[in-house]
Each structure stands twice: as C-alpha cells, then as structure tokens.
C-alpha cells in the first residue's frame, strides 16, 4: 500500500505534490520521493527521494530545486523488495524520459521478471514490481521511446500490452520528459485512484491524479471522480485530457481501504470512509445486543476505530470513553515491516488511563485484528489496570487468508484468525471474548456488493496461483532486512 499523486499545469507542482503527499503519509512511512520536469530544458528532470517521513525528506530548499509545471510523488510502504532506499519511488528511466510511481502488488512479479531476463541481452536489476512495470511500459513503447512526445495513443497501446501480462493490483502515475502526466488502474480496480481538476481565478486549469480524494480536497480540487477499473487518463502539457477504458474485468476495490487504510474524509465507490465506519459500528451494536453481551464502557483503539466505536456506543446507549492515549510521535504500527518492529512500536504507542478501567466491563473496539500484536499488548495493559472483563470488538470480519495485492500479510500462518475459532482467538489474545463483523455486514456498511474480500473469503478477483512463490520471496525479503531499520520510529 502506497500513496500516489501527480499534478500538471501549475508552476508550483512540486509544492502541490508535497502537500498532497503530506495528506497521504498514512499510506506509507518507509520513504518518499518527488519527480518534476522542466519540459523546456533538455534532460529537465529533477528528483528528490529519501527514507523516512515526508516532512523529513523534503526541505524548503529542495522543493525550490524541484522545478517544473508537472510532477509526481510517492509515499512508500514496502511489500515487494526489501525496505531499501534504492527502491524508493518514483522510478525514472532517463533514457526513455519516463518516470513512474506505483501502488499495489504484482502477484506474478517473480515469474515475469524471469521471463524478461530471458529476453534481454543485458541483465536487468528489477528488485521491485514497480520497476518491472516501468520496464514493460518502456519496452512496449517501441525501440526508441521518448524520441517524440509520447501521446495518448502509443501510451495506451503500451499500457494495454502491460495489462495483458500483469496479474495483481496496481494504480500508476507517470510523468514524461515533455511534461505530460498519465495514470491508470488495474482491470479489477483493487487499488484506488482518483482524478481531479481545478481552475484558478486567472482561468488556468490544473489536473491531478491521487490515491485518495482527501489529498485533492486539501489542495482545492473541486471536480473529483474515480478512475474506473482498467481506465487510463492522459493529460498532455497543453492540458488536453484523454480518457479510455483499456481492459476492464470487474469492480473489486479492497475492503481494507474503508476499514483501515484510507483517511476518514476520503470517498470511494460513492461511499465515504466515515459513513462506512459509522455503519460498521451500528451493525456491531446489533450483534452485541443479539449476543446479550453486557458492558459498562466502549473504548476505541486509536485512531481508525474511533468512528465505529462512537456508532457502537450510540447504538448500545453506552458511555464512550477515550481511555487509550496515543503517543502521536509513533506512527502506524500495522505497516511496519517485521514482528519485532511492530511490537516495540505498539509498546511505545498506547497508554491506558488505568483508574478509568478498574472494575469495568469493557468493549474495546478495533478496526481489524490481523496478527494480534496490538490486541495482545492492549489487553495486557487494560487487565493490568484492573478491568473486570474485556470484550474485543472488530469492525472487520476475521482475516483468515493472505493478501497478495499490497497489504503486507502474504502468509496465512502469521494471521491470528488462521485455523482458529472465535473462542481460540480470544484465548490467544487473552480476552474474555471476541466479536467480529460479518462479511455481509461489511458489504452492507460499505454499500458495495462487489469487493475484494480475498483475505476474508479466499475468493480473489485475480488468479493467485503465483501467490505461494510471492509469500516465500516476501518472507525472505523480511529476513534480509536490517534489524534496526525502524529504530527511529
């Protein structure tokens, strides 16, 4: 899962991309990059990348050096390839004059990489699926890509050829050396991408692509719509927009966008994240009433479960209390790479108000339970504070199966719900009971009949036969990762 943004038609594009990325920081903490182009100068690309949080990667001075009227930006969350600074995006193929940022996962990356290596006279160091996508686009653009303005027709042909080979999830933004931007989304629409326009008082129009509506809303874009599955959008440097659906198979957006990943202000598929989470809480209230569970207080696990917890408390007419205090300087633990990194970050992340837990029957609301790291630590803290009873409530159904599309749990063995009943999960986590949302309740709350729920149901929108190889390679990447890479978090 990563954050993407592309902006065209503004002399301050680098600043717009920077502030857009700041509103997408939650999608990736490993590092960030911005690529701009001054199309009037030969070789006019300017690139700045670095590890860590966005505000630490870019300075006022570096932003001034990122000149040009078009730019793309990327916030990285590593899922293929180690957390290596060399793998930070955007990637740039200087020879062809094409830069690229990618959000998603290519399930058949390793087999595609082998196929490409066999056809090349010189070895290719493709350590990430994003670099592979860029290579496919460049190869499909012909023998001398970039020798003339790309244009929508040849680019769309190259994208279509790439789509025929790629299996998995991908939202892409690209920048050409002529100052054109373009983007496209996988044929099942698994990963999000939106397109927006805005017009200045002087009549100048700016165009943008981004992972979430929240980023474009912050930048003042008014006309925002979702890029369709399999759709490509090309904006040339003169502001001519061309849109075309190249290959469409389904509309199967990842349910985790609403449940956990996206900003609460964002909207996908006609449903705002806020509304979806609120309805998830109301449905859970009905479930708890049906089960006859009694409690004294409802407590959210900050931050993403707060909306569902408020709705749950309202539905049960029960006090809502913010009793788990978050250290604002510890970032999202779920997207850290490695069990030890997550557990250490969790230990420093949350602190209970012990006096308010003592003798209480508590409903602890979390957005989801994946590995169980957060839940175990929180339950331990709450019980040490003297809670009489702890019920853990998840606004997401049990996650039994791997994700192959950009959320980093590629192995079922690391999932706490894998081959466990609800009672066994409760025992493992140290709680009195667990209550999960149902898959039907999830669809109802999100107002989406078609979702990617592969991690819940094992029904994936694409072929995942290559998934076992993906799982093995990803686990190898983790083992090779430096042990102290998140020491600053």
Is 2 in the active site? yes
3-class secondary structure, 32: strand
Query: CA-based Rg of the chain, rounded to a whole angstrom?
Result: 23
* CA-wise closest residue to 237 among 182, 191, 195, 287: 182
Distance of CA 112 to the CA centre of its chain: 23
From CA 45, how far away is CA 349, in angstroms rounded? Answer: 40
Phi, psi of 198 (to 5 degrees): -150, 150
**Residue 187: both structure tokens together:** 């044929």
* CA-wise closest residue to 72 among 201, 202, 211, 242: 211
User: Could you say which of 2, 174, 396, 403 is catalytic?
Assistant: 2
DSSP 227: P
* CA-wise closest residue to 314 among 291, 288, 290: 288
Distance of CA 189 to the CA centre of its chain: 13
| Distant-in-sequence, close-in-space partners of 129: CB < 8 Å, separation ≥ 6 | 80, 81, 102, 104, 105, 106, 109, 168
* CA-wise closest residue to 9 among 171, 179, 232, 221: 179
Distance of CA 414 to the CA centre of its chain: 20
From CA 351, how far away is CA 326, in angstroms rounded? Answer: 7
CA distances from 36 to 18, 64, 71, 190, 363 (A): 11, 11, 4, 27, 49
**Strand 3-8 relative to strand 350-352, pairing:** unpaired
- Give kind and range of the element (H or E) at residue 176: strand 168-176
DSSP 386: T
Torsion sign, CA atoms 105, 108, 111, 112: negative
Q: What positions carry a catalytic annotation?
A: 2
């Amino acid at each position: 899962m990563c954050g993407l943004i592309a902006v065209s038609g503004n002399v301050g594009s680098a600043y717009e991309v920077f502030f857009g990325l700041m509103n997408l920081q939650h999608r990736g903490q490993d590092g960030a990059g911005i690529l701009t182009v001054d199309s009037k100068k030969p070789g006019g690309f300017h690139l700045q990348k670095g590890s860590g949080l966005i505000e630490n990667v870019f300075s006022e001075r570096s932003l001034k050096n990122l000149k040009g009227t078009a730019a793309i930006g990327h916030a990285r969350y590593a899922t293929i390839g180690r957390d290596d600074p060399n793998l930070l995006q955007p990637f740039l193929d200087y020879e062809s004059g094409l830069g690229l940022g990618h959000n998603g996962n290519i399930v058949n990356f390793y087999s595609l990489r082998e196929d490409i290596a066999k056809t090349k006279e010189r070895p290719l160091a493709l350590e990430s699926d994003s670099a592979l996508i860029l290579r496919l686009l460049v190869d499909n653009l012909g023998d001398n890509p970039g020798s003339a303005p790309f244009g929508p027709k040849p680019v769309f042909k190259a994208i279509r050829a790439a789509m025929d080979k790629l299996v998995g999830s991908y939202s892409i933004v690209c920048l050409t050396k002529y100052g054109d931007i373009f983007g496209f989304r996988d044929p099942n629409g698994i990963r999000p991408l939106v397109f927006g326009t805005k017009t200045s008082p002087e009549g100048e129009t700016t165009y943008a692509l981004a992972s979430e509506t929240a980023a474009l809303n912050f930048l003042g874009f008014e006309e925002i719509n979702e890029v369709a599955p399999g759709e490509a959008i090309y904006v040339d440097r003169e502001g001519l927009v061309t849109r075309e659906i190249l290959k469409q198979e389904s509309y199967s957006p990842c349910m985790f966008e609403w449940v956990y990943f996206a900003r609460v202000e964002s909207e996908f598929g006609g449903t705002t994240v806020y509304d979806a989470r609120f309805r998830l809480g109301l449905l859970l209230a009905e479930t708890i009433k049906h089960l006859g569970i009694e409690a004294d207080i409802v407590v959210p696990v900050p931050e993403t479960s707060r909306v569902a917890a408020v709705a749950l408390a309202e539905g049960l007419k029960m006090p809502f209390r913010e009793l788990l205090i978050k250290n604002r300087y510890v970032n999202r633990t779920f997207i850290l790479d490695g069990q030890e990194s997550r557990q250490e970050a969790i230990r420093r992340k949350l602190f209970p108000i012990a006096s308010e837990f003592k003798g209480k029957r508590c409903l602890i609301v979390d957005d989801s339970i994946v590995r169980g790291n957060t839940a175990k630590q929180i339950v331990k803290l709450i019980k040490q504070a003297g809670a009489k009873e702890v019920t853990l409530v998840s606004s997401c159904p049990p996650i039994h199966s791997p994700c192959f599309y950009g959320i980093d749990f590629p192995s079922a063995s690391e999932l706490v719900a894998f081959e466990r009943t609800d009672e066994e999960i409760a025992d493992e986590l140290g709680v009195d009971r667990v209550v999960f949302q149902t898959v039907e309740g999830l669809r109802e709350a999100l107002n989406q009949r078609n979702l990617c729920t592969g991690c819940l149901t094992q029904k994936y929108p694409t072929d995942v036969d290559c998934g076992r190889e993906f799982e093995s390679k990803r686990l190898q990447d983790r083992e090779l990762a430096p042990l102290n890479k998140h020491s600053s978090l």
